[in-house]
Homo-oligomer: A and B are copies of this chain.
Amino acid sequence: MNPEADNSLRMSRWNCPVELPADSERVSLSIGEGARHTRRFLQKTVFPRLRCSSSITDATLIEVEQRRLAICTDSHTVTPLFFPGGDLGSLSVIGTVNDLAVSGAMPCWLTMSLILEEGLPVTVLERLLDSAAAAAQQCDVTIVAGDTKVVPRGAVDGIFINTTGVGEFGDSIPAGPKSLEPGDRLLVSGPIGQHGLAVLSSRQGMAFLNAVESDLKCLLPGVSEVLKRGGASVKCLRDATRGGVSAVLHEWAEEANVSFELDQSSIPVSRQVRGACEILGLEPLHLANEGTFVAAVAPACAEEVLNVLRSVPQFREATLIGTVMPKSVTPVAVRRLFGSPIPLDEPAGAPFPRIC
């Protein structure tokens, strides 16, 4: 489309009071991918204007009397609405519960705001609400407030769900990336890349991928065991959603001024995901997860924390995948069976938008 026409069209649509040159900067999909571009955009455009702290965390502390509450918000726009292993309803609850969990908070309350497209079959909405309710029950959170908007056909793609979670911080909260030291071990709670491929397969109707199910699940049982046993030696926790494990590690590397070395042979990847990634030329470390977290643990406790995590049925396949190294030119490198470690790219360019 001719940018001028496009621009004037949008201006009339938005009634924007400022004159916009046709070549004015536009929001790109990569801003939403959850990695470097997102971080840069937030730090440059959003945080200064909203006067927010510029550190990106999964949940924010709000102090009420002696109680330390955690709050986080997430809008869920996944397409298609139903995918192997979950749907928008369960994802909107579990995604937010997991953000609280990896922050070291016990989730208590959720708000749920529905943005519905005119013409959405009510049956579809009912199924999504049913699985949201089931997920809330399973995660032991209560949906306490909500909102429902309906917009005309075409103004939104089917249904988006925002959930905001409020929980309470426990006694042991990970100190965060700044506390990372060379020698700390990296742990991943299970096979990676499942969610990304599950959504991709159902979106593109790739029959050969249909065996892949999303890892969507509540992280609370695993995280609480890790924090209980690991205590202060658990330095960082993060659910590896948009941008996958790679995005998490690159963010930590930047904040902590360290590098990471991963051992390729120990990274848990299911046979189907490995196969699909080879066919499609994808890197599992870049794919989104919705029930898998990364932890950095002091070396002395790493084995012990790994074992307690493995004792939780859903996290039987947890593995130590690498080590924190002194800062080098490559923030994240992967050591293969032979040869020198190869650098791992930070995801950039949003290979799959609307993954969550």
Assembly CA distance A118 to B116 (angstroms):
20
Q: What is the CA–CA distance of A108 and B64 in the complex, to the nearest angstrom?
A: 11
Distance from A251 Cβ to chain B, minimum over Cβ atoms (Å): 15
- One of A68-76, A285-293, A309-317, A328-336 contacting the partner: A68-76
Q: Would B74 and A147 count as touching, CB distance under 8 A? A: yes
Chain B residues, CB < 8 A from A112 = 50, 73
A residues within 8 Å of B by Cβ?
6-7, 10, 13-18, 20, 24-32, 38, 41-42, 45-46, 49-52, 59-60, 62, 64-67, 69, 71-75, 77, 79-83, 108-109, 111-127, 129-130, 132-133, 136, 143-152, 154-158, 160, 162, 164, 166, 202-203, 350, 353-354
Q: Would you call A133 and B51 a contact (CB within 8 A)?
A: yes
Q: Would A113 and B144 be within 8 Å (CB), given that A15-B83, A49-B133 are in contact?
A: no
26 A–B contacts, CB within 8 A, in A order: A13-B158, A14-B81, A15-B82, A17-B82, A26-B119, A26-B120, A27-B118, A27-B120, A29-B118, A31-B148, A45-B129, A50-B132, A50-B143, A52-B146, A64-B64, A64-B65, A64-B67, A71-B166, A72-B147, A74-B113, A111-B164, A113-B164, A145-B164, A152-B354, A154-B157, A160-B160
* Complex contacts, A121 vs chain B, CB 8 Å: 7, 10, 16, 20, 24-27
Q: Do A125 and B27 form a contact, CB below 8 Å, given A148-B41, A166-B62?
A: yes
> Which residues of the other chain, B, contact A160 by a CB distance below 8 angstroms?
115, 156, 160
In the bound complex, what is the Cα–Cα distance between A82 and B17 (angstroms)? Answer: 7
Q: A14-B81, A75-B162, A126-B45 are in contact. Are A27 and B117 (CB under 8 A)?
A: yes
Contact yes or no, B64 A146, CB < 8 A: no
How near does chain B come to A28, taking the closest CB pair, in angstroms?
6
Nearest CB to that of A51 among chain B residues? B133
A154 to chain B, nearest CB (A): 7
Task: Report whether B148 and A73 are in contact in the complex, using a CB–CB cutoff of 8 Å.
Answer: no
* Number of identical monomers bound together in the oligomeric complex: 2
Measured CB to CB, the nearest residue on chain B to A56 is B146
In Å, the complex CA distance between A72 and B145 comes to 6
Complex CA distance for A121 and B122, rounded to whole angstroms? 34
**In the complex, A18→B188 CA distance in Å?**
35
Q: How far is the CB of A239 from chain B (nearest CB, A)?
A: 14
Q: Is the CB of A77 within 8 A of B151?
A: yes
Q: Across the interface, do B20 and A149 meet the contact criterion of CB distance under 8 Å?
A: no
A297 to chain B, nearest CB (A): 26
Tell whether, in the assembled complex, residue A148 and residue B118 are in contact, meaning their CB atoms are under 8 Å apart. Answer: no
- Inter-chain contact A46/B148, CB cutoff 8 Å: yes
Measured between beta carbons, the chain B residues less than 8 angstroms from A71 are 109, 111, 144-145, 166
In the complex, A203→B13 CA distance in Å?
A: 8
Are B49's CB and A126's CB within 8 A? yes
- Complex Cα–Cα for A131 and B42 (A): 17
Would you call B151 and A353 a contact (CB within 8 A)? yes
Closest to A150 in B: B32
Knowing A49-B129, A156-B160, A162-B162, the reply to whether A13 touches B115 (Cβ < 8 A) is no
A194 to B77, CA, bound (A): 33
The interface residues of chain B lying within 8 Å CB-to-CB of A143 are 50-52
